[in-house]
């Protein structure tokens, strides 16, 4: 059974640029959630995708957007990067409608905006 994987591991971008982060869900999981973890904080919910549709969104502006593909992998896109977007971005997968409470996390992508 393959776990959740994320790429890239680290990324440095300049303010105003755009970034795309990728996530492959755990085998058999059809739901992907994205979280932002700032330094010294717990993960904060950005949004969730279930069967390629957005299924709930946290308190993040529209410049945070996402996609889920037929194989249930997912992308997080952030436009017009700001310094405060520097954080660890975590992807979590789960089985929609069955064990959706337990979400399994990838190792994260560390984004630094300068």
Q: Which of 13, 20, 22, 55 binds other proteins (CB under 8 A)?
A: 55
The yes or no reply on residue 60 touching other proteins (CB under 8 A) is: no
Q: What are phi and psi of 96, to 5 degrees?
A: -60, 130
Shortest distance, CB of residue 61 to other proteins, whole angstroms? 17
Pairing, β 104-105 against β 44-50:
unpaired
Q: What is the dihedral of CA 34, 50, 4, 84, to 10 degrees?
A: -10
Residue 58 engages other proteins in binding (rule: CB under 8 A): yes
> Which one of residues 42, 70, 71, 83 is an interface residue with other proteins (CB under 8 A)?
42
Distance (Å, rounded) from C-alpha 82 to C-alpha 49? Answer: 24
Interface positions with other proteins (CB under 8 A): 4, 6, 33, 35, 40-45, 48, 50, 55-56, 58, 90, 92, 94, 100-108
């Amino acid at each position: 059974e393959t776990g959740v994987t994320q790429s890239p591991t680290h990324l440095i971008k300049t303010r105003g640029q755009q970034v795309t982060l990728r996530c492959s869900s755990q085998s058999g999981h059809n739901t992907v959630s994205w979280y932002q973890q700032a330094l010294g904080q717990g993960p904060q919910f950005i949004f969730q995708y279930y069967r390629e549709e957005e299924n709930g969104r946290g308190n993040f502006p529209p410049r945070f957007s996402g996609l889920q593909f037929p194989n249930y992998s997912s992308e997080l896109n952030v436009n017009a990067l700001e310094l405060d977007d520097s954080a660890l971005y975590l992807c979590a997968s789960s089985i929609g409608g069955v064990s959706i409470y337990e979400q399994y996390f990838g190792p994260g992508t560390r984004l630094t905006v300068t």
